[in-house]
Structure 1
């Protein structure tokens, strides 16, 4: 079975409860034929209850069985998805590059399928009101945080993205009332990010998380949640290529939504900062 919803199920299969896994396996086995069944029929074939089928749908980020059936029906008319690939020993460079392209395309497709546009709009509105924005991530997530900072600095926002946790904690302790904290962690379990989230909440700072899909510690106690697709674990994951691509995509999407709120001012500020940089060359 191929397509966006099936990839989402495959990527999160191990995170589901035993009962939900029964529903997931039935869908993976029968594909779009499930779209022709009622909730009761799905439950019977999965040897579980209708309530468990509904819970499964919600675990997959769907509102219910009707949305699941719509996704499966839409999938049946699609060409086979590119999919995810890991590298192997002594593969030719052209094959490796094609695999990277396939992984990138699949990551973007899967992340796009779960983007909550209303959530992006809400966060963008809050960012307009915010006097200061704090961003924190570690490892590959730091690269995303740094890119995040550079984008909004060019639009005149006061943005802090620092790698020193003590310094970040100190700055947030003296933050103005209208401030926001973005915690970036693909797993949602990075200890330092979670601790800084707690400090932000203690100081009355609005909190936003950017994590991989699924329930995690960071997401459970923030004001707003942004999530990316969760690629299958593989050797290639050690380079964090898929997660970084997905996170950058969400940040860029948020930037577009934010910038479009006052496109004339955005263009003016970008032109001014571009001119300043040109003078340095």
Structure 2
């Protein structure tokens, strides 16, 4: 199957002109192998793969970029799903990077570096991103928390003061369970950061620094939680790397120590987990 896949990837126009028998002869395989390869690539049969190759060849000859829609339908071959999702993820990352205010980002990094304590708030998919930021900061020696319970988030926020940092992650910017602890932290004097897809959202009223994300167009099978998470993770990684750069002398040993502490939980190479 590898020879068939390599052939269609290297010469889509030539392969599109071949019958299933012709492609089998060209690759030194069998007709059954060609059909299995087509199905492995997500197409119902060789005819569908051949049509896709013809379309790709026409696009390459015209010099146009592939006309790729972000809409995923229930009938899409898995190969098309992969291509569409990859396209959307790349677009979300590019748009987020282009729109990210690096001055605000730098200020947020500086606040995190100097923080006595860091709280990170998020619900649902944004809660997973909050946990990601928290575990990254913990591994380089910063005291970070991501309370998953909304009531606990508020009671934690009450304990914050000047010199602490609170980070709220919400794509809509209007999630009450995220806004409320950020408001409390803001009123207690902590430095506050909002990561949101809407720079004029309610959460920004209580944010000293606002970091905006971008999302690809949504569809029925690709809800906002998928595209927003991609942009949020990019911002989180930028924050983490920025902090690690400024605290390298302490961050590197802390990261090494955390890695060593978990080493015994990893299976030795060559042994199945």
Q: Same fold (TM over 0.5)?
A: yes
Residue 101 of structure 2 is matched in structure 1 by 116
**Pair member with larger Rg:** 2
Q: Which moved more, 1:127-136 or 1:200-209?
A: 200-209
Alignment match of 1:248 (pick from 219, 224, 233) = 233
Matched, 1:228 2:218: no
What is the Cα deviation at residue 184 of structure 1? Answer: 0.6
Question: What number of residue pairs does the alignment pair up?
Answer: 203
Distance in 2 between the 1:180 and 1:237 partners?
A: 33
Distance in 2 between the 1:244 and 1:201 partners?
A: 25
Asked if the contact 1:82/1:103 (under 8 Å) is kept, the reply is no
What is the Cα deviation at residue 176 of structure 1? Answer: 4.7
Asked if the contact 2:141/2:250 (under 8 Å) is kept, the reply is no
Alignment match of 2:112 (pick from 88, 102, 127) = 127
What is the Cα deviation at residue 251 of structure 1? Answer: 0.3
What is the Cα deviation at residue 238 of structure 1? Answer: 2.4
Distance in 1 between the 2:105 and 2:134 partners?
A: 17
Residue 179 of structure 1 is matched in structure 2 by 164
Residues 199-278 of structure 1 mapped to structure 2, 5 A cutoff: 199-238=184-223, 240-278=225-263
Asked if the contact 1:209/1:219 (under 8 Å) is kept, the reply is yes
Distance in 2 between the 1:181 and 1:191 partners?
A: 15
Q: 1:190 to 1:108 in 2, by over 3 A?
A: same
Matched, 1:159 2:153: no
Distance in 2 between the 1:262 and 1:164 partners?
A: 30
Distance in 2 between the 1:89 and 1:141 partners?
A: 26
What is the Cα deviation at residue 83 of structure 1? Answer: 6.8
| Secondary structure of 2:221 counterpart | helix
Asked if the contact 2:113/2:246 (under 8 Å) is kept, the reply is no
Q: TM-score, normalised by structure 1?
A: 0.68
Runs of 5+ in structure 2 lacking a partner?
A: 1-63, 267-273
Partner deviation per Cα, 1:12-42 (whole Å, 9 max, x = no partner): xxxxxxxxxxxxxxxxxxxxxxxxxxxxxxx
Matched, 1:140 2:121: no
Residue 87 of structure 1 is matched in structure 2 by 72
Runs of 5+ in structure 1 lacking a partner?
A: 1-78
Residue 174 of structure 2 is matched in structure 1 by 189
Q: TM-score, normalised by structure 2?
A: 0.70
